[in-house]
Chains A and B, each alone.
Chain A
Amino acid sequence: MFQHKLEVRNLHFSYPHSHEIIKDLSFTVSPGESIGIIGANGAGKSTLLMLIMGVLFSDSGEIMVGDICVTKKTLPLIREKLGMVFQDPDDQLFMPTVYEDAAFGPRNYKLSEKEVENRVLNALEAVGALHLKDKAPFKLSGGEKRIAAIASVLSMQPDILIMDEPTSALDPKSRRKIIKLLNSFTHTKLITSHDLDMIMESCERTIIIDKGQIAADGKTSEILTNSVLLDSCGLELPLSLQNCTVCGSAKV
């Protein structure tokens, strides 16, 4: 596990009848790294993830997972290694029960029922959702849905976890739970978020995308404290680093 590095080289992409959304992106993710991808609304973060997952295909440039290039032909191979948690868990949970949903992926890879059960129970246990096993997804709270969606990806035992805004629309407790959970995973992680405090806690490295281009790529501790840089990309300092709103005393 985790021996795959992810490489994005000179990626260009535009939706039909629109301007270029992704312009010449390049970066490399080493095994085990966890990377935060941040940027203003519409910067192209979700689009980038879709490109990596092979849901969309680039106009030029390439994406390599290990030594396999993401193309239509290699998709089954790629998708076994990459697991993506969608921004809206409702898009992901479509089976009648949480258990069935987590079993959906493994069953598609024609594993034996014993192995499927093993993986599902392990995944549910890893996210602390064993008690939700027989519940119907539409009956879960937002946080529980998120957890179930993560389990349904973990059950496929991917090397690289890709998440689109995992903490959006969660209350502080559920958010904390998800952050703890993410930090407990040893997978290579690629996380987009507007929750910069979460990125600070979960990712050593941060990439800022601004209008489809990389504006900065480096240590989270350096990038997220650089208010000039953040400001020029339409972002703000993480809340925990902003000056106190009551007394105005500076933190940085």
Chain B
Amino acid sequence: MADIKNSLYNIRLFDELSLKKTPIHNLHPLIKLLTTIFYLVMIVSMGKHEISRLIPFIFYPMLIFVLAELPAYQIIKRLLFIEPLIIGVGILNPLLEQQLIAIGGFEISKGWITFLSIFIKYNLTVTACILLISTTSMLQLSAALRILRVPRVFVLQLLLTYRYISVLIEELFRMYRAYSLRAPQQKGIHKNAWGSFAGHLLLRTIERAQRVYQAMNLRGFSGEYHAKSIKKLNSSDYLYFAGWSLFFVIAKIINIPILIGSLFTGVIK
């Protein structure tokens, strides 16, 4: 039961965080979306064995965490959930790529480098997405998508799916509560009841979603949501985007860690 409650809380955590009022939250959603996309593209386009160039990119999520006053612990906890998935994706590399390379006197298979690179890339990209939705509400995000001329139906679909998930989880939670109160000795749901449980859940959520939809219709909803016209882009928005873009491009072209390293060794010499 705690799990279900938690996942409901998880979804809503982002909802709540996105309502904060910090300099980052106040930025134009389009800018945040574009910056995030740019960040993702930069990271994904990084070479297969790249590690050192990725390191400066950690700076971006760190700064957002601080500026947007996000609870790092809760978000990192969420990130840990997908860690097994990331490891699963990358773990075959050490086996597939077995040429050895020497790093500082040690010899390791090249696959481990690839794995580490994948690991860092995934974590950075997922974190960037989480940060985007924790600093931008779903409504603002869909407004930004509309500015980018994403068709209305898709945006609406996104918005409603997002709402519908919480309806589903709530329904599940209620049914599970009703079930477990009458089956106190059981852990989870007995497999004999799975079928009817799932079927019932589907029917209930459909019914619920229908009522929600009716309520929307009764208030004049006609297939298009007119979100609050979001604020106009201002100079700080442009500056934010330009600043980060510049940083990403530089970090991609110049290997900053090596540069700093050689500066130091140069000084020592």
A residues with CB within 8 A of B: 53, 55, 76, 79-80, 82-84, 86, 88, 90-92, 94-97, 100, 103-105, 107-110, 113, 116, 134, 136, 138, 152-153, 156
Cβ–Cβ < 8 Å partners of A53 in chain B: 218
- B211 contacts the other chain (Cβ, under 8 Å)? yes
Cβ–Cβ < 8 Å partners of B163 in chain A: 94
In the bound assembly, the distance between CA atoms of A53 and B220 in angstroms comes to 12
Q: Are A108 and B12 in contact, with the CB atoms below 8 A?
A: no
Q: How many A-B residue pairs have CB under 8 A?
A: 71
Q: Are A156 and B228 in contact, with the CB atoms below 8 A?
A: no
Cβ–Cβ < 8 Å partners of A107 in chain B: 225-228
- B229 contacts the other chain (Cβ, under 8 Å)? yes
Q: Are B214 and A94 in contact, with the CB atoms below 8 A?
A: no
Q: Are B219 and A136 in contact, with the CB atoms below 8 A?
A: no
In the bound assembly, the distance between CA atoms of A107 and B225 in angstroms comes to 8
Q: Are B228 and A105 in contact, with the CB atoms below 8 A?
A: no
Q: Are A108 and B221 in contact, with the CB atoms below 8 A?
A: yes
Q: Are A96 and B226 in contact, with the CB atoms below 8 A?
A: no
With an 8 Å Cβ cutoff, the count of chain B residues facing the other chain is 28
Q: Are B219 and A105 in contact, with the CB atoms below 8 A?
A: yes
Query: Beyond A80-B220, A97-B19, A136-B16, is A113–B229 a contact (Cβ under 8 Å)?
Result: yes
- Pick from B138, B139, B166, B220: contact of A79, CB below 8 A: B220
- B204 contacts the other chain (Cβ, under 8 Å)? no
- B208 contacts the other chain (Cβ, under 8 Å)? yes
Could you tell me which residues of chain B, from 21 to 75, have a CB within 8 Å of some CB in chain A?
A: none
Tell me how far the C-beta of B7 lies from the nearest C-beta in chain A, rounded to whole angstroms: 14
Enumerate 27 A-B pairs (CB-CB under 8 Å) in ascending A order. Answer: A53-B218, A55-B217, A55-B218, A76-B222, A79-B218, A79-B220, A91-B211, A91-B212, A91-B215, A92-B212, A92-B215, A94-B163, A94-B216, A96-B18, A96-B138, A104-B216, A104-B219, A105-B219, A107-B225, A108-B226, A109-B220, A110-B226, A113-B228, A113-B229, A138-B166, A152-B219, A156-B220
Residue of B nearest to A110 (CB): B226
In the bound assembly, the distance between CA atoms of A104 and B163 in angstroms comes to 15
Tell me how far the C-beta of A157 lies from the nearest C-beta in chain B, rounded to whole angstroms: 12
Q: Are A103 and B228 in contact, with the CB atoms below 8 A?
A: yes
Q: Is the interface of A mostly helix, strand, loop or mixed?
A: helix
Cβ–Cβ < 8 Å partners of B18 in chain A: 96
In the bound assembly, the distance between CA atoms of A163 and B159 in angstroms comes to 28
- B137 contacts the other chain (Cβ, under 8 Å)? yes
In the bound assembly, the distance between CA atoms of A136 and B18 in angstroms comes to 12
Which among A82, A107, A136 has the highest number of chain B CB atoms within 10 Å?
A107
Residue of A nearest to B16 (CB): A136
The 10 A-B residue pairs with the shortest CB-CB distance, nearest first, are A108-B220, A105-B219, A91-B211, A107-B226, A92-B215, A55-B214, A91-B215, A109-B220, A84-B218, A91-B212
In the bound assembly, the distance between CA atoms of A53 and B226 in angstroms comes to 23
Q: Are A79 and B15 in contact, with the CB atoms below 8 A?
A: no
In the bound assembly, the distance between CA atoms of A90 and B208 in angstroms comes to 9
Tell me how far the C-beta of A79 lies from the nearest C-beta in chain B, rounded to whole angstroms: 6
Tell me how far the C-beta of A203 lies from the nearest C-beta in chain B, rounded to whole angstroms: 22
A55-B217, A94-B163 known; 13 new pairs, CB 8 Å cut-off, are: A86-B211, A91-B208, A91-B211, A91-B212, A91-B215, A92-B215, A94-B212, A94-B216, A96-B15, A104-B221, A105-B219, A108-B226, A138-B12
Residue of A nearest to B229 (CB): A113
- Pick from A55, A96, A152: contact of B139, CB below 8 A: A96
Cβ–Cβ < 8 Å partners of B137 in chain A: 96
Q: Are A153 and B219 in contact, with the CB atoms below 8 A?
A: yes
In the bound assembly, the distance between CA atoms of A53 and B219 in angstroms comes to 11
In the bound assembly, the distance between CA atoms of A66 and B163 in angstroms comes to 36
In the bound assembly, the distance between CA atoms of A81 and B219 in angstroms comes to 10
Q: Are A96 and B219 in contact, with the CB atoms below 8 A?
A: no
Cβ–Cβ < 8 Å partners of B170 in chain A: 90
Query: Beyond A94-B163, A96-B139, A108-B226, is A79–B212 a contact (Cβ under 8 Å)?
Result: no
Tell me how far the C-beta of B10 lies from the nearest C-beta in chain A, rounded to whole angstroms: 13
B240-252, CB under 8 A of A: which get 1 and which 0?
A: 0000000000000
In the bound assembly, the distance between CA atoms of A92 and B219 in angstroms comes to 10
Cβ–Cβ < 8 Å partners of A138 in chain B: 12, 166
Query: Beyond A103-B228, A113-B228, A136-B15, is A108–B212 a contact (Cβ under 8 Å)?
Result: no
Cβ–Cβ < 8 Å partners of B218 in chain A: 53, 55, 79, 82-84
Cβ–Cβ < 8 Å partners of A104 in chain B: 216, 219, 221, 225
In the bound assembly, the distance between CA atoms of A94 and B19 in angstroms comes to 15
Cβ–Cβ < 8 Å partners of A88 in chain B: 211
Which among B138, B163, B218 has the highest number of chain A CB atoms within 10 Å?
B218
